Structure formats: structure tokens, C-alpha cells
Chains A and B, each alone.
Chain A
Amino acid sequence: MTGQRTSRRTVLTSAAALATSAVFFARPAIAQSAPRVVIVGGGFAGASAARALRRADPRIAITLVEANQTFTACPFSNGVIAGLRDLTAQQFGYDKVAADGIAVAITAANAVDPATRTVSLGNGQRLPYDRLVLAPGIDLRWDALLGYTEAAAEQMPHAWKAGEQTLLLRRQLEAMEDGGVVVMAAPNNPFRCPPGPYERASLIAYYLKTKKPRSKLIVLDAKDAFSKQRLFQNAWAELYPGLIEWVSLSKGGKVTSVEVATKTLITDFGSHKADVANVIPPQKAARIAEIAGVADRTGWCPIDPVTFESKLQPNIHVLGDATIAGGMPKSAFTANAQAKVCAFAVATLLRGETPAEPKLINTCYSLVAPDYGINVAGVYRPVNGVLTEVEGSGGVSAADAPRATRALEATFANGWFDTITNEVFG
């Protein structure tokens, strides 16, 4: 409980400083009754929620539970795979979050008991909460593709959770002979970062074109259409002619199994032997969502679009990639935007009031080359209980934009990463 006590003390100190009054010290019972919010998951959603909640109401005792000391961001990690940036540029700590008066517990969240409103931690603690925010991200479905196990991922990396997997895929590309074949498998919807596989294909193509120009990249897809498709395919024709082959579902692109020993990806139509294989398997909300009873049979978490409270468990809110968020894609921008709305809604609910209807924005950049950016954006609001894109808003970058605009968008993409990571971790 050390973290909790530190948090309360910090809250007390900052609250007293704000009040320029000693009444809070004279009435410790007030501190005892401060509402307690536990947030599980320190990614873009969870860390954003913690900081926004602190701004929304300094009295709330907030504990952020995260298994890893260092967060490794997925956005821009395709640049690491292509050798364009170091993994350290993706990594952030929680010192500044803790400095806001948030108790940061670096340990796993093992169980949630909605009846007693407690979270059991890997370090043996049991944290009571008035409201719980789950921002756990995704788990990969190890049962989805025959032969694609955690051990198989050491040979055929997914690199869909940034970190060692990212570096493994990069090293395999660096070790590949010129003239090699890279094969990627992309999953059906929904999954984390809908344009991510195609940005990755683009930047791997950039690496191959500049370093190993006789090589080839095949993308085996479990669907017939993908995010920003026209923009990606036009750019591939322009920048990487003949290098990328995209195989849609209806052309036999759906991978059903893998053979690790031969690095072979098998579809219903045939098999593809790879020199480097990147298998992005189907996904679901991370396990703690299932344990807490907030995931439905799809493996994802239905939420109220005003408060992000679970439709399955009261007093538990769910954010980010784990949610079923209507039209909002599973992106870092979405996670951050949802977190800020949820934080103010939680503060409002804890005051016994009713949160107002929100609007949320998503903006999602992809790099097709280091100086070639494209985006998709959308504005969302609750309609009949579902986050729905506002009619007439949103869409993708202009199809006929000049290269100068693509270069400008690449600059905006880089600026976005610095801005959002600064807001969340800086």
C-alpha cells in the first residue's frame, strides 16, 4: 500500500496548496473519503486517462497499474523495423506521470472483483476502487492461425507489440540476402491500427528498395479492402513499382496456418515460403478485460459512448484498443481522445452528476516513405449508443495531392508523435 499512501499525501499536499488553507490537514476524514480510481494499463489510453483525471479533479486518489517500467510505443515503430529510427525513440517512462501526484504501481493486474470493487496485483496488493478504468490494449490470438504460437513468433515475428519483436523483425530484414522474399500476413478487422500493416509494407519496401533492390514483398491479407487503400496503392505504384504484391482475401490472401521450420505461410489457395515472415495474427482485448467480465463473445469490450463505462460491468470503464468503439479505429490518437473524455466523465460521475455528450476526434498518419505522409481523420459522436462519424466530416488525404503536400504531411506526422507522447508521458 506504499504507493497508495504516497499518492494520498501528494494529493493532500497539492490540494492544500491550491486551497492555501490548512483545513484539509485538520480534517483527515476528507482525505479518507477522497474517491479512488484505479487505472490498469499505462499506454496511450491509460496514462492519458490518469493525467486528465488529475486535471479534472485533484482530490481523486489515482493509481496507475502497469506491468512494464518502460512503455514502448507502437506508432512509428514501423520506422524502427525499416532502420529509420532507434527503438529508444519509442520508449517512455512514468516519472512525469508520477510527478503529477499519480501513484504508479509497476506490477501486473491479475484479477478484478467487481462485487467488492478490488483489483488484485502481481505484487500481492489488493487495490480498492470506486471506479476502475481498464486500458489494457490487446492480446494476440495464439489459437487463430494453426502453428502460430508464441514460440513460432520468435522465428516469424508479429512485431505488433513494440519492443523486442520490433527489433527481431528489423534484424531479420538486415540479415536477409538481396533478392529475398518478405511475406507479411495481415488480419481481418477489427485489429489494432488498421493502416499499420500497410504502413509497415511501405517502409519495408522503402528499406528493400534502398538496400536490397532485387527483393520482393508479398502481403497476404484476410480482407478485401483496407484503410487508406487507394492512397497506399497509388503510392506503391509511384514509389515501389513491382516491389509489393498485395493478395486480397478473394485472391487467396487469408493465411490459415504457418510452418515455422520452413517459414511458410499457408492459405486455402497455396503456400508462400518466406525468407523473412511477419505474421500479424488476429487479436482481442487483453486478458484482464476477460477476467473482469467486460469483454463479450467477440473478445472486445462494449462501452457506453458518453462515459466509456462497460456495458457489462458497472463502475468499470474501458478505453482504447480493447473497446468496441463504433466507427472509431483502434489508434493511439483514439485512445488518447477517449481517455480525456472518460476522465472528465468519471470525475463528473464521482460528483454525482451526469456527464455531457462528448465529441471525439481521430487523426491517424501513415508514412509511405520518410518524406511521404498520408492521413485519415474523423469526428465522432454518440448516436443511439454507438460512436458514429459525424456526417460530412472526416475522410482521407486528397488522392491528387502534390508531393510537397505528402512531405508536409510527413512533417505533421512527426510533430504528432512528439506532441502526443509529450502530453501522455512528458
Chain B
Amino acid sequence: MNATRVSAAVVVVLTSIATAFAASEPPAGATSCSGCHPANAGVQSPVPPLAGKNAEEIVAQMQAFRTGQRPATVMDRIAKGFSDAEVQAIAAWYAQRH
């Protein structure tokens, strides 16, 4: 009985450790960005990487794209597909990455 309880406790601990390895789901839309914004170094592209960028800066640029204040070839039309809250969540997620 005691042994069962101990092994059950071990399983609980192991399960929580294992769950800790799993990355939480990224905010809606976030994972699509790396189709164009390089996730790794050494890629030949004029498009800037997003990981590690200041979240407020990403939010400001997305707003500028959406209003047309910043000229764009494609980001104007993509920015219009996201709400303020969604942009903030994506920006915070990228700001934490490196």
C-alpha cells in the first residue's frame, strides 16, 4: 500500500516534470510569421527576425502597417487581419524568444 502510494507520487512528479517540457501553445497567428521572418541566423532575407525584438516596437510597427503610416508591400494587408489584443500577444511572445 505504502509502496503503491510512493510510486503513485513518483508518477505524479514525473508527469509534472514531463509536462513542464511541453511548450505552451503560441498565441493565435504567431507561428505563421516565421514563413517570412527568419527564425534562424544565416538566412539571406531583407525581412527582419522577430525573436527578441521589443514588444512595444512590434506593436507600434503593426499599428503603422495597419493605418498605412508605414508603407509596405505585404504587411499592410496582413496587419489588418489582427486585433490589438492579438498583436500584443504575438509581440509579447516574440519578445520572450531568442
Partner of B26 from the list A21, A344, A378, A409 (CB cut-off 8 Å) is A344
CA distance A395 to B46 in the complex (A): 22
Partner of A419 from the list B29, B45, B80 (CB cut-off 8 Å) is B45
Say whether A415 contacts B80, CB under 8 Å. Answer: no
Q: Looking at the assembled complex, report how far the CB atom of A402 sits from the nearest CB atom of chain B, in whole angstroms.
A: 12
Partner of B23 from the list A57, A361, A392 (CB cut-off 8 Å) is A57
Say whether B74 contacts A379, CB under 8 Å. Answer: no
Name the interface size band of chain B.
35 or more
CA distance A375 to B14 in the complex (A): 49
Say whether B73 contacts A405, CB under 8 Å. Answer: yes
Say whether B36 contacts A359, CB under 8 Å. Answer: no
| In the complex, chain B residues whose CB is within 8 Å of the CB of A411 | 46
CA distance A415 to B42 in the complex (A): 11
| In the complex, chain A residues whose CB is within 8 Å of the CB of B25 | 344-345, 348, 355-356
Say whether B21 contacts A18, CB under 8 Å. Answer: yes
Contact residues, B3-47 vs A (CB, 8 A):
10, 14, 17-19, 21-23, 25-26, 28-29, 31-40, 42-47
Say whether B32 contacts A21, CB under 8 Å. Answer: no
Say whether A392 contacts B80, CB under 8 Å. Answer: yes
Q: Looking at the assembled complex, report how far the CB atom of A154 sits from the nearest CB atom of chain B, in whole angstroms.
A: 35
How many chain A residues touch B (CB < 8 A): the figure is 57
Interface segment, A64-72, A214-222, A279-287, A333-341?
A333-341
Decide if A106 is an interface residue (CB 8 Å cutoff).
no
A27-B14 contact in complex given A416-B36, A419-B37, C-beta closer than 8 Å? yes
Bitwise interface map of A from 5 to 27 toward B, beta carbon under 8 Å scored 1, else 0:
00000000001001101010001
| In the complex, chain B residues whose CB is within 8 Å of the CB of A360 | 29, 32
| In the complex, chain B residues whose CB is within 8 Å of the CB of A358 | 28-29
**How many inter-chain contacts with C-beta < 8 Å in the A-B complex?**
146
| In the complex, chain A residues whose CB is within 8 Å of the CB of B46 | 411-412, 415
Contact residues, A51-72 vs B (CB, 8 A):
52, 55-59
A363-B37 contact in complex given A15-B21, A416-B45, C-beta closer than 8 Å? no
Decide if B93 is an interface residue (CB 8 Å cutoff).
no
CA distance A18 to B22 in the complex (A): 11
Q: Looking at the assembled complex, report how far the CB atom of B3 sits from the nearest CB atom of chain A, in whole angstroms.
A: 15
A359-B32 contact in complex given A57-B21, A416-B45, C-beta closer than 8 Å? yes
Q: Which residue of A lies closest to B49 (CB)?
A: A419
Bitwise interface map of B from 54 to 87 toward A, beta carbon under 8 Å scored 1, else 0:
0000000000000000000110011011100010
Say whether A394 contacts B23, CB under 8 Å. Answer: no
| In the complex, chain B residues whose CB is within 8 Å of the CB of A341 | 31
CA distance A56 to B14 in the complex (A): 18
| In the complex, chain B residues whose CB is within 8 Å of the CB of A397 | 73-74
CA distance A363 to B74 in the complex (A): 8
CA distance A132 to B43 in the complex (A): 31
Say whether B44 contacts A393, CB under 8 Å. Answer: no
Say whether A361 contacts B21, CB under 8 Å. Answer: no
Given A21-B17, A347-B22, A363-B78, 20 new contacts (CB under 8 A): A18-B21, A19-B17, A55-B23, A337-B31, A337-B35, A358-B28, A359-B28, A359-B86, A363-B36, A375-B73, A379-B80, A379-B82, A395-B77, A397-B73, A401-B73, A419-B34, A422-B42, A423-B35, A423-B40, A426-B40
Binding site for A on B (CB under 8 A): 10, 14, 17-19, 21-23, 25-26, 28-29, 31-40, 42-47, 73-74, 77-78, 80-82, 86
Please give me the 10 A-B residue pairs with the lowest Cβ-Cβ distance, nearest first: A379-B81, A415-B45, A393-B81, A361-B32, A359-B29, A340-B31, A390-B81, A359-B28, A57-B22, A337-B32
Can you list 28 A-B pairs, Cβ within 8 angstroms, ordered by A? Answer: A19-B17, A27-B10, A27-B14, A30-B14, A57-B22, A58-B22, A336-B35, A337-B32, A340-B31, A356-B25, A356-B28, A358-B29, A361-B32, A361-B78, A361-B81, A363-B78, A375-B73, A378-B81, A393-B81, A412-B36, A415-B44, A416-B36, A418-B43, A419-B39, A419-B43, A423-B34, A423-B39, A423-B40
